[in-house]
């Protein structure tokens, strides 16, 4: 049984790379916490600091409420499974799993019992006599897990343990890992860059970007109410539609959200209306997930967006239509992927200007520091972060619909399911922290 606390932990490598930037995080006893984020965001560095393999530059780490930075890794009661785990090739499965027990001088008969228990829990009880070379990838992965848990650690750290496996086996092992850690009641921190894996496995998800913790919450919380534009863009499939909108307030009636030539009307009765109304005359980012959009007949009026299908994607159980609605999409540069190109670069600078205006307001000390990036000013001036392009609104349709690209399509919008973000990428919401 273990709890973990990171208190304002920072890790700066000798070359100046800030791998982890003022992260504070509490993991509860018995919790399965998933650290999620793209490559290089500092996930492994966090696990390695908890395990004692690296020292933080600043901050403190507590296990069960006690500071552990002075403790050697072996005194922390932690087991870690790495992505590129190595088994001892000349040892049997049984000896591989039992190796940590042998090292700590556990009696052979107890060892056999404990290895047997762990192996049967992992479904590899019938291959105990084999060598690693005679196992499948999934079986080898289970042996590595068995070796980690056989010592009955208080805390289990797993760094992308499934990333070498094919997708079918991954899905199967996901369920097994969460089942096993729950059964053992062991606190687990699990690293992945796969958002679907995080949402299916986690009690809570902690989302990282460039060393900064963006959001922490249950899968329902972070999916349903993402703290930043980045989290909104990272979670869910298809990706959330992120549209630039101009805001005009008609006091006591409604707020017009204008996307190109089309508008949606947020009623004044919406609990978020007052927060959004602060942006009168400015631009914000409006997020619409596919589940907020329902295809309707062309004559339907009200909260409806209209466009033409640019292309269709068939996924077997559903098809996705991508609609050109004459709006501008904000593309979050979350994966370190492409910067704006050509005309996009100009557009980007224009949007950067709008963002800067917002920054002027929020960096004068009134608001909290943006989580979207460490330095609030750079959020708004760094042209590599977001870029704009014509929106292609992702809409769910029944599988293989009888329509084709070029077709007009109207979609009704659930206004209560919209997400709003300011120019810094922070959520605009009622009572937002």
| Site of interaction with Mg ion (CB under 5 A) | 44
Q: What is the dihedral of CA 25, 418, 252, 249, to 10 degrees?
A: 90
Minimum CB–partner distance for residue 42 and ligand ATP (Å): 4
Q: Which is nearer to ligand ATP, 43 or 387 (CB)?
A: 43
Cα 153 from Cα 237, distance rounded (Å): 35
Q: Which is nearer to Mg ion, 43 or 283 (CB)?
A: 43
Site for ligand ATP in 9-38 (CB under 6 A): 13, 15, 17, 19, 37
Question: Contact between 214 and ligand ATP (CB under 6 A)?
Answer: no
Nearest CA-CA partner of 100 in 59, 50, 150, 62: 150
Furthest CA-CA distance within the chain: 78
Dig out the tokens for 53 from the structure.
């393999």
Q: Do strands 262-267 and 283-288 pair parallel, antiparallel, or not at all (unpaired)?
A: unpaired
Q: Which is nearer to ligand ATP, 283 or 385 (CB)?
A: 385
Instruction: Give the number of other CB atoms < 10 A from CB of residue 120.
Output: 12
Minimum CB–partner distance for residue 221 and ligand ATP (Å): 22
Cα 425 from Cα 44, distance rounded (Å): 25
Minimum CB–partner distance for residue 44 and Mg ion (Å): 3
Cα 173 from Cα 130, distance rounded (Å): 21
Q: Which is nearer to ligand ATP, 337 or 402 (CB)?
A: 337
Residue 19: contacted member of ligand ATP, Mg ion, none (CB under 5 to 8 Å, by partner type) = ligand ATP
Work out which of 39, 104, 133, 220 binds ligand ATP, going by CB under 6 A.
Answer: 39
Nearest CA-CA partner of 379 in 227, 228, 206: 228
Whether residue 76 contacts residue 68, with contact meaning beta carbons closer than 8 Å, is answered with: yes
> Helix, strand or coil for residue 170?
helix
Q: Which stretch binds ligand ATP (CB under 6 A): 40-48, 287-295, 312-320, 340-348?
A: 40-48
Minimum CB–partner distance for residue 157 and ligand ATP (Å): 12
Residue 136: contacted member of ligand ATP, Mg ion, none (CB under 5 to 8 Å, by partner type) = none
Residue 42: contacted member of Mg ion, ligand ATP, none (CB under 5 to 8 Å, by partner type) = ligand ATP
Q: Which residue is nearest to Mg ion (CB)?
A: 44
Residues near ligand ATP (CB under 6 A), total: 13
Angle, CA of 351, 352 and 355, to the nearest 5°:
90
Evaluate the CA torsion angle 217, 220, 223, 225 in order and state its sign: negative
Work out which of 43, 114, 283, 424 binds ligand ATP, going by CB under 6 A.
Answer: 43
> Helix, strand or coil for residue 161?
coil
Work out which of 45, 96, 328, 362 binds ligand ATP, going by CB under 6 A.
Answer: 45
Minimum CB–partner distance for residue 412 and ligand ATP (Å): 39
Q: Which stretch binds ligand ATP (CB under 6 A): 42-50, 143-151, 199-207, 413-421?
A: 42-50
Cα 391 from Cα 375, distance rounded (Å): 29
Cα 333 from Cα 415, distance rounded (Å): 26
Minimum CB–partner distance for residue 36 and ligand ATP (Å): 10
Site for ligand ATP in 158-197 (CB under 6 A): 193
Whether omega for the bond prior to residue 57 falls within 30 degrees of 0, making it cis, is no
Minimum CB–partner distance for residue 114 and ligand ATP (Å): 31
Q: Which residue ranges make up the site for ligand ATP (CB under 6 A)?
A: 13, 15, 17, 19, 37, 39-45, 193
């Amino acid at each position: 049984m273990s709890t973990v606390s990171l208190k304002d932990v920072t890790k700066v490598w000798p070359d100046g790379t800030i791998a982890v930037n003022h992260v504070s995080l509490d993991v509860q006893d018995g919790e399965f916490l998933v650290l999620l984020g793209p490559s290089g965001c500092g996930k492994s560095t966090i696990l390695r600091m908890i395990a004692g393999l690296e020292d933080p530059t600043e901050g403190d780490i507590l296990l069960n409420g006690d500071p552990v930075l002075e403790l050697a890794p072996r005194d922390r009661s932690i087991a870690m499974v790495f992505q590129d785990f190595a088994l001892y090739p000349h040892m049997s499965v049984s000896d591989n799993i039992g190796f940590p027990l042998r090292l700590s001088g556990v009696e052979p008969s107890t060892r056999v019992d404990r290895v047997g228990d762990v192996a049967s829990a992992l479904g590899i009880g019938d291959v105990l006599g084999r060598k690693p070379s005679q196992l499948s990838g999934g079986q080898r992965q289970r042996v590595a897990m068995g070796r980690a848990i056989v010592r009955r650690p208080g805390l289990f750290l797993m760094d992308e343990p499934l990333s070498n496996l094919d997708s079918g086996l991954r899905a199967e092992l996901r369920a097994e890992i969460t089942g096993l850690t729950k059964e053992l009641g062991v606190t687990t921190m699990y690293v992945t860059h796969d958002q679907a894996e995080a949402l299916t496995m986690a009690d809570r998800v902690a989302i990282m970007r460039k060393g900064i913790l963006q959001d922490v919450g249950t899968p329902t919380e972070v999916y349903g109410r993402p703290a930043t534009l980045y989290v909104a863009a990272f979670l869910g499939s298809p990706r959330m539609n992120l549209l630039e909108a101009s805001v005009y307030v008609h006091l006591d009636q409604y707020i017009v959200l204008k996307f190109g030539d089309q508008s949606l009307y947020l009623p004044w009765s919406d609990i978020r209306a007052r927060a959004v109304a602060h942006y009168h005359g400015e631009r914000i980012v409006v997020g619409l997930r596919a589940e907020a959009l329902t295809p309707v007949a062309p004559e339907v009026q009200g909260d409806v967006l209209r466009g033409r299908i640019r292309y269709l994607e068939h996924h077997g159980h559903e098809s996705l239509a991508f609609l050109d609605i004459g709006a501008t999409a904000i593309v979050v540069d979350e994966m370190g992927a492409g910067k704006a190109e050509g005309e996009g670069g100009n557009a980007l600078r224009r949007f950067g200007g709008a963002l800067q205006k917002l920054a002027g307001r929020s960096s004068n000390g009134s608001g909290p520091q943006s989580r979207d990036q460490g330095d609030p000013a750079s959020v708004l001036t760094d042209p590599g972060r977001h870029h704009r392009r014509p929106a292609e609104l992702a809409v769910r349709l029944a599988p293989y619909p009888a329509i084709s690209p070029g077709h007009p399509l109207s979609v009704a919008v659930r206004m209560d399911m919209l997400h709003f973000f300011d120019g810094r990428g922070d959520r605009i919401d009622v009572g937002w922290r």
